[in-house]
């Protein structure tokens, strides 16, 4: 590809953002062999076309489409501090000897890292990444049960095999990562096949915990998973707006907002 041709250059920029979720002007200029001004001009055109959202020093993929399903790699680079704080708070709800279920997702993956040192856990998950992470865990006595199923863009196993496995199990506590949540639509996802799996994760436990950073508020997926009332505990971060806190408090009895520690 001749990346000096404007159309091809902008296509390369789009491919880079779709893979990583965000780009910086300086990095793109060096990679493409063009000036910062040229990159900014390309980004401005992509913003006008509705493909990107411009931020200081670069751009993000335009979010908000209800059917868009971001990939695991792209989501992994976003809200790292918030996810770490939420995962640490969630790990405090887990004790040795418990059975827990973790949905696929980058925040639940962060939780899985925290769980590696807790002994005698039984972990049920539809995430191959989480299963791999826990497989070589240093804690003794851990058992990991991975459902079967079809693998989605976000690296979740879904479909009849996954739901059949979950219907035979019941755990002490489930932890669900979500695409978006709101007062009107509850918990949502862009993937129809994830709906039943996530519903079972909520239902087949004594306590259902949702992990969602503040950027997920009012982000709506195409399909509804469950109303907010189905959640026992919701853990988010202190960036959640006041109107969100007020709305959530009406539906969820245990709402926890974690402070992000700056390094």
So what's the pLDDT on residue 70?
Answer: 57
Answer whether residue 120 is part of any domain.
Answer: yes
Angle between helices 128-135 and 106-115 (to 10 degrees): 20
Do 160 and 184 fall into the same domain?
yes
Answer whether residue 67 is part of any domain.
Answer: no
Q: How far is the C-alpha of 73 from the C-alpha of 219, rounded, in Å?
A: 19
User: What is the total count of domains within the chain?
Assistant: 2
So what's the pLDDT on residue 255?
Answer: 96
Query: How far, in whole angstroms, is CA 215 from its chain's centroid?
Result: 10
Do 47 and 113 fall into the same domain?
no
Answer whether residue 1 is part of any domain.
Answer: no
Answer whether residue 207 is part of any domain.
Answer: yes
Task: Give all strands of the β-sheet with 186-189 in edge-to-edge order.
Answer: 180-182, 186-189, 223-226
Do 110 and 156 fall into the same domain?
yes
Nearest to 262 by CA among 84, 89, 114: 84
Do 92 and 140 fall into the same domain?
yes
Which structural domain, as residue segments, surrounds residue 30?
6-61
Do 92 and 206 fall into the same domain?
yes
Do 205 and 167 fall into the same domain?
yes
Domain harbouring 54, CATH code: 1.10.10.10
Reading the chain (263 residues) residue by residue, the pLDDT tens digits are: 445 678 778 878 877 776 666 788 998 999 899 999 999 999 988 887 767 777 778 887 665 444 455 555 555 555 678 999 999 999 999 999 999 999 999 999 999 999 999 999 999 999 999 999 998 777 899 999 999 999 887 788 999 999 999 999 999 999 999 989 999 999 998 888 899 999 999 999 999 999 999 989 988 888 999 999 999 999 999 989 999 999 999 999 999 999 886 54
Do 109 and 230 fall into the same domain?
yes
Do 156 and 53 fall into the same domain?
no
So what's the pLDDT on residue 67?
Answer: 43
Do 191 and 95 fall into the same domain?
yes
Do 30 and 145 fall into the same domain?
no
106: left (phi over 0), alpha (psi -120 to 50) or beta: alpha
The 3-class secondary structure across the chain, one letter per residue, is CCCCCHHHHHHHHHHHHHHHCEEEHHHHHHHHCCCHHHHHHHHHHHHHCCCEEEECCEEEECCCCCCCCCCHHHHHCCCHHHHHHHHHHHHCCCCCCCEEEECCCHHHHHHHHHHCCCCCCEEEECCHHHHHHHHCCCCCCCEEEECCCEECCCCCEECHHHHHHHHCCCEEEEEEECCEEECCCEEEECCHHHHHHHHHHHHCEEEEEEECCHHHECCCCCEEEECHHHCCEEEEECCCCHHHHHHHHHHCCEEEEECCCCC
So what's the pLDDT on residue 91?
Answer: 97
């Amino acid at each position: 590809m001749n990346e000096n041709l404007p159309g091809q250059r902008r296509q390369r920029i789009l491919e880079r953002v779709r893979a990583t979720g965000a780009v910086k002007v300086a990095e793109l200029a060096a990679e493409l062999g063009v000036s910062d001004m040229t990159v900014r001009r390309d980004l401005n055109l992509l913003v006008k076309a509705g493909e990107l959202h411009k931020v200081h020093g670069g751009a993000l993929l335009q979010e908000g489409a209800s059917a868009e399903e971001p990939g695991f790699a792209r989501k992994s680079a976003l809200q790292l501090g918030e996810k770490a704080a939420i995962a640490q708070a969630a790990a405090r709800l887990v004790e040795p000897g418990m059975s827990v279920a973790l949905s696929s997702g980058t925040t639940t993956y962060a939780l899985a890292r925290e769980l590696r040192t807790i002994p005698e856990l039984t972990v049920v998950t539809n995430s191959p990444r989480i299963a791999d992470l826990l497989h070589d865990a240093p804690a003794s006595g851990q058992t990991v049960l991975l459902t079967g199923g079809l693998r989605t863009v976000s690296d979740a196993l879904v479909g009849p095999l996954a739901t059949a496995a979950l219907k035979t199990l019941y755990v002490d506590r489930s932890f669900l990562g979500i695409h978006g949540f709101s007062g009107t639509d509850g918990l949502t996802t862009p993937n129809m096949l994830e709906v039943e799996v996530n519903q079972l994760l909520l239902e087949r436990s004594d306590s259902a915990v949702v992990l969602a950073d503040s950027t997920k508020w009012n982000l709506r997926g195409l399909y509804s998973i469950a109303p907010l009332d189905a959640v026992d505990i919701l853990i988010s971060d202190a960036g959640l707006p006041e109107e969100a806190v007020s709305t959530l408090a009406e539906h969820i009895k245990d709402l926890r907002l974690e402070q992000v520690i700056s390094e």
